[in-house]
Chains A and B, each alone.
Chain A
Amino acid sequence: MSHPRLTLQQILILAFVSISTPLGDACLKRGMALLPPISLAHPLSLIGAVFTPWIALGIALLIGYFASYLTALSWADLTFVMPATAMGYVFMTLLAHFWLHEAVSWQRWLGVVLITAGAGYVTRGPANTTPPANFADALDAGHGVHPTRLNATIDQEAQ
């Protein structure tokens, strides 16, 4: 069975989702490590943490990730996007080994192989298994199409 192939733009969007997530998380961890332990009794300290440089940079990267992620979800299934973008872990390991010269154990290389296999395997299948939304109606109405309304449209078309 043949499936529509991903365009170059769609592949780039998936790649950006993959790279920006681990980088953003690493920035958050670095920022949180610089702060004293935060207890549940003082939850507002978490809000203050948002304005520290490393966490702000992490948030900027995660905003970029989120915009790309939403775009990907608009033309692909969640169960396609998740494994396809797991390549971020692979990028992080390769960066750690070849750029930071960190020692990478055989277990981590095995992890890299498994994730690459999973991502490669899922991207050979269809990106979307659910019917497309009637986006023209959404534009006319100025909002998204409710799934029940979408299903009703599909049922009508099937009849």
Chain B
Amino acid sequence: MMDTALFWKATVMIAAVVFTSSAGEVLTAAAMKSIGDLDEIRARSGLKGAIRAVVTCPFFSVGIFFMAVAFFALLFALNHLNLSLVGPAAASLTLVTNTIAAKFFLKERVDGRRWTAALLVCLGVYFLAH
């Protein structure tokens, strides 16, 4: 049984990973949506053109910044907590926050099918952790 201090410590560490990775993933998705199909860009202007299209998009830079913060937050959490706790908890919670953020910020059509899939995966990750 986890004591109260450790519970709150774990909650803060996992929340930091979830918030920063959600921000990073939504901003990166916004960047990729604004650029268009990378395979088509690569076919038209080569790998250099595709890389240039990605790295010069402002959303991408901010997204990468948040992903880098999320990475170090994950390393820090892994140094103090078990992977079997941090991995599934961060993954399933990020899935929910990303789905909400994608609906409101990316204007994706999150229908019943996508909510159902997100919740099934969330539940699945929860059971995998046991």
Contact = CB atoms under 8 A, between A and B. Distances in A.
A135 B52 CA distance: 12
Interface in B74-97: 74-76, 78-80, 83, 87-88, 91, 95
A78 B34 contact: no
Query: Range of interface residues on chain B?
Result: 35 or more
A38 B58 CA distance: 33
A70 interface: yes
Given A122-B114, A132-B37, A133-B36, A79 B83 contact: no
Contact of B56 (A26, A122, A142): A142
A86 B113 contact: no
A15 to B, nearest CB: 16
Nearest to B113: A125
A81 B111 CA distance: 15
B98 interface: yes
A89 B57 contact: no
Interface in B39-59: 39-41, 44-45, 49, 52-54, 56-59
A144 B113 contact: no
Contacts of B99: 79, 82
B124 A74 contact: no
A40 to B, nearest CB: 8
Given A38-B79, A115-B120, A133 B114 contact: no
Contact of A86 (B32, B53, B124): B124
Contact of B108 (A116, A117, A121, A130): A130
Interface in A117-148: 117-119, 121-122, 124-125, 129-130, 132-135, 138-139, 142-147
A32 B35 contact: no
A147 to B, nearest CB: 5
Contact of B28 (A38, A70, A114): A70
Given A114-B121, A132-B36, A35 B41 contact: no
A56 B28 CA distance: 23
A108 interface: yes
Given A89-B128, A130-B107, A77 B120 contact: no
A105 B84 CA distance: 14
A26 B40 CA distance: 34
B29 A122 contact: no
B57 A135 contact: no
B25 A135 contact: no
A121 B79 contact: no
Interface of A: 9, 25-26, 28-29, 32, 35, 37-38, 40, 46, 49, 70-71, 73-75, 77-80, 82-83, 86, 89, 93, 105, 107-108, 110-119, 121-122, 124-125, 129-130, 132-135, 138-139, 142-147, 150
